[in-house]
Structure 1
């Protein structure tokens, strides 16, 4: 009886052994096998990047430099010892970005009216941007004349719509000889008009609209999207696109940038913002001088009347009693008393001026009250000393003091009023434009190198990920060495797979 040797199945490597692990060479082999997939993914990503560059409107950046002179600090040299002192530039940047200032800019440039030609989807805007010259671009054979292909122009001077139609796009359809028809957001014709004249809806219409078209150059049938934007929406957009930064801490030099798809409009808008700020700065300083001047002018008549009364009282006393010679000690007390009265009156006027801007608990007003109290105490002491002087000398000294105080105070206030009159009529701003706005020659975004670099990286990542995903979804043995290691039997030949083709008549 012949015994058949028992077939022993060699042990297979368990999971987690070195044979199951893919080495660097195996990774490279997988990438080589799927190189077509990776190349297709990269080509597709680059094509998408090119399409993005073609369809995305370029954005330009305008830049300007503004200098704001710092006001002199009341602390003198002690101001240098305060490292966290607030910069004046931070306050002025808030003024630059305020709704009041940007609203004036929007009204000046009529930014509330938005006009956009209706382009062919995807490539129409790029086709129009590539057109050069004032004439209308030719309509391509695959397009329609109702689209804008380049060279069209619609200048709207004024557009008034109901509140419910604000920020809603209206459609303006060009006609022959500058005529046009405006369609509402509900698809109904609102009004008809001609460029160069103001078109209005009939009185009592459901939606009253007023449109002033200054210039219209387009083929008949060309459509435009016309939108009356709300003032708040325009201001908020300016606040988002306007960038401000101080060049160096404490320098007072501001770098202003504004981005937009139209380089001319970006430059004009930034220039208008800078001019409006400088003009606002002048008006603000002039208003401050005007308020102070009004206060001084209101006090001058009373001071003039008091001076005349004091001079009349001294003149009448001397006419009745004759001249009285004052001793040196009395004269010194008189001069000091006059100085105190003048200082008290000056501080009282200054306190009245400060009360118009600050509360009673402000440090300046508190310090001024303490100084007034100290001066009044000293004046009371001097008046006590004057009571010990003989009546004739005391009355003469008091009248002389009143005249001196009233005269000096009137002259001081009158000189100060003259200074503020000059200041108001020749107000000089502390802000000036160093560099006028200029726009970049090339768009800041999108840029071709960045877009293609990102597209290349994304294409490679997607291609590699797809290659390994296909490897995971279609497992199998493609390496003869791996098969020999797994089964412990030699591989004598390998048959490549391919499509089945008939080489002759099939056997029955």
Structure 2
């Protein structure tokens, strides 16, 4: 006896074959290829619609080069500790400057980005009408709705100032006709009324409309943002970054829908930064000139005093010829004094910009201390010189140092004067932004290619998910592999079968037509013939020749299978008895145009003999027993002690007895009949049974001691039959019919 345990053991062995799993997935994709292609086509169409209606985005960028600061910023930079602060390029600080309000604010003002004006359009229809209009050529209002803009309107505001309470609020500008307009607040109160081309002012609101082309009554939305919000909003669209690391090349880029305006705004930001940088350099040069011009008189006085003292000493003592040792001391002392004087000048300069705690000031002070200590050590080596010689050397040193510092500052004053007159600075625009020809997004070709692959992936995932989530099994391999129920026959479903509608088609006598008689060469009939051959081997070791045909639920087509199988067995020369065992809803008699009574119920109740309820059909060798009168207790009749003997005696008179039973899960009649039959078959319909439902049916039949020979898979989709192993002897048999609704 085949039991579910036996079945599961067989399935476990088969499931170890990984190739079978892969083959199932591939077959599933082929079977549902139209789902995959349909979903892929939908994704491609959606992508096509997106790239068609999506607004193209263009990108423009400008390159700015930042070089090391020149020596003009400090009078003696070449000989000071400031060189320790110039090892890296100042690109990080310059990037912050570009993103500052000082740079972006002028661009916002120049391009009037602190306010916006847009026409009020009727939803959808207004956009369609405006699409076919030209600027300056007004379209006629649709349906007489003059308050909406329908295309061709032009509104240009040169300036607008509103009180703080109205900032970022949606105001309404109404065209009054004859070049007049009115500005209203969000509640519709009139704020100001004016004439095009003339400034208008009232209640803290100032507005100047340069041009207004619109039908009288047309409304426009006007928004005046806070200046800070406008700058920050514009700044969020400006991207600034260094190209590479420590290259000194800064890229300024912007994205926008208008390629020309995007490039123009990008260049405006670069120009504003360069202008701000030059102004800063000129301001620094002016401050330095002021500082140096203030120091020159003092240094000139020191030089004149030192030269006077040296001249007086020479007149008093005569010419002086220093020794070799004195010459070394003089040269070294002059160098130390020059360095100290230059550092003190830079300290004074830095203290005008920074506090004493600034790192640059502290670095200068540390170097002054170091050089002063070195000078003291140097002076100590020459303290043994004669006093007259030491005095003479000191006077010569002071005069020389004062002269060098004074001349150096004079040169710096001249350089800074030239710098202030025409500052170049240490930055320059390397590449200006050009109008881009192609948008950066959407990337149409990339999106379309990606949509094809995405559609195929989504379609495949949908098919797999539907396979996992759907209640209906459509592949007989799943039943064999998971439940171990052998599928001895698969009856495929095709369009011809559906059109013919064999289950309900009637002949001229009102009978349901039998497919095996009306279309003997139909692929479905050929599949049943193949099952007939397999049946003879499957039941060869059964205890009797009684076959039970049942299904888990109504609608599997077991009546269709029973009638046509019985007809084919009879045509093969067998004596066949077809019994309608469904004494609740049976209707096999409709295939032969005979009333249901008398029949099985009368035979079981012993009111009639078997010979009195057996019907001869027009198919040679085929006899039938109908349900008879519908009894109130079909199950009780089947459980009578003499019922088994009646069926077995009928089996001895025929080569094959086929009993069409009610659904297994609906009533208990099928299990009772199955326990009497030597072989039971479970008729399953593609797509309507869950795995759990079939397992419950198998368990219920097996618990009654029924021998389950196998299953018949009915109404299998054509592609499943084509690609699966159930192809009717290697041929792609397909047929079309509606299963019995029981």
TM-score range relative to shorter protein: 0.7 to 0.9
Q: How does 1:282-297 map to 2 (within 5 A)?
A: 282-297=278-293
Mapping of 1:319-398 within 5 angstroms? 323-329=316-322, 332=327, 341=337, 343-357=339-353, 359=356, 362-375=362-375, 378=378, 385=385, 388-389=387-388
What is the match of residue 258 of structure 1?
A: 254
Residue 213 of structure 2 is aligned with which of 210, 217, 223?
Answer: 217
Q: Contact 2:310 / 2:392 at 8 angstroms: preserved in 1? A: yes
The normalised TM-score by structure 1 is 0.77
Counterpart contact for 1:173–1:221, Cα < 8 Å: yes
Quick one: structure 1 residues 9 and 324, their matched pair in 2 at CA, closer, same or farther if it must change by over 3 Å? Answer: closer
- 2:229 alignment counterpart: 233
Paired residue for 1:17? 12
CA shift at 1:259, angstroms? 0.8
Instruction: Count residues in correspondence.
Output: 482
Secondary structure of the structure 1 residue equivalent to 2:220: strand
* TM-fit CA distance, 1:403: 5.3
1:219–1:56 CA distance, 2 compared to 1 (3 A): farther
Residue 168 of structure 2 is aligned to residue 173 of structure 1: no
Residue aligning to 2:273: 277
| 1:249-281 C-alpha deviation (Å, 9 max, x unpaired) | 443233321112233332221111111111222
8 Å Cα contact 2:138/2:151 also seen in 1: yes
Farther-moved stretch of structure 1 (418-427 vs 289-298): 418-427
Asked if the contact 1:55/1:123 (under 8 Å) is kept, the reply is no
Conservation of the 8 A alpha-carbon contact between 2:277 and 2:425: yes
Aligned to 2:90: 88
What is the TM-score when the length of structure 2 is the normalising length? 0.55
CA pair 68-403 structure 1, distance change in 2 beyond 3 A: closer
Residues 410 and 71 of structure 1: CA distance in aligned 2, closer, same or farther (over 3 Å): closer
Distance in 1, Cα, partners of 2:296 & 2:268: 41
2:62 touches 2:251 (CA, 8 Å); kept in 1?
yes
Higher alpha-carbon deviation: 19-28 or 291-300: 19-28
Q: 8 Å contact 1:55–1:122 — kept in the other structure?
A: no
Q: Check 1:383–1:229 CA distance in 2 against 1; reply closer, same or farther (3 A cut).
A: farther
Residue 493 and residue 176 in structure 1: after superposition, are their counterparts in 2 closer, same or farther (change >3 A)?
same
Q: Distance in 1 between matches of 2:140 and 2:458?
A: 39
CA contact (8 A) 2:133 2:139 kept: no
Distance in 1 separating the partners of 2:329 and 2:486: 127
Structure-1 separation of matches of 2:68 and 2:125: 52
> Which residue does 1:81 correspond to in 2?
none
Q: Label 1:334 to 1:220 Cα distance change in 2 as closer, same or farther (>3 A).
A: same
Deviation at 1:158, TM superposition (A): 1.2
Distance 1:369-1:138 versus aligned 2 partners, 3 A rule? same
The correspondence for 1:435, drawn from 428, 431, 434, is 431
Q: Which moved more, 1:149-158 or 1:487-496?
A: 487-496
> CA–CA distance in 2 between the matches of 1:271 and 1:91?
20
Give the 3 Å change call, closer, same or farther, for CA 224–452 of structure 1 in structure 2: farther
167-176 vs 133-142, which moves further: 133-142
SS in 1 for 2:191: strand
Decide which moves more: 288-297 or 40-49: 40-49
The Cα RMSD (Å) is 4.4
Q: Structure 1 residues 484 and 253 mapped into 2: Cα distance closer, same or farther (>3 Å)? A: closer
Q: Rate the CA distance shift 1:27–1:465 in 2: closer, same or farther, 3 A.
A: same
1:420–1:491 CA distance, 2 compared to 1 (3 A): closer
Q: Tell me, yes or no, if structure 1 residue 446 matches structure 2 residue 479.
A: no
Question: How far apart are the structure 1 equivalents of 2:61 and 2:344?
Answer: 49
Residues 104 and 269 in structure 2, CA contact (< 8 A), matched pair in contact too: yes
Per-residue deviation at 1:215?
1.6
SS in structure 2 at match of 1:100: helix
Rg comparison, structure with higher value: 2
Distance 1:335 1:143, change over 3 A: farther
User: Any gaps of 5 or more consecutive residues in structure 2?
Assistant: 72-76, 80-86, 512-594, 596-742
Deviations 1:451-470 (A, max 9, x none): 44454455444444444444
Kept in 2, the 8 Å contact 1:54–1:123? The answer is: no
Cα distance in 2 for residues equivalent to 1:90 and 1:405: 40
CA distance in 1, matches of 2:122, 2:53: 11
Output aligned runs, 1:16-55, within 5 Å. Answer: 17=12, 23-31=21-29, 34-35=32-33, 37-53=35-51
Q: CA deviation at 1:306?
A: 3.9
- Structure 1 CA distance, aligned partners of 2:46 and 2:144? 23
Alignment of 1:427-506 (within 5 A): 427-479=423-475, 487-488=485-486, 490-491=488-489
Unpaired stretches in structure 1, ≥5 consecutive residues: 1-7, 77-84, 203-207
Higher relative contact order (CA 8 A, sep 6+): 1
3-state SS of 1:14 partner: helix
* Cα pair 1:289 1:423 within 8 Å, conserved: yes
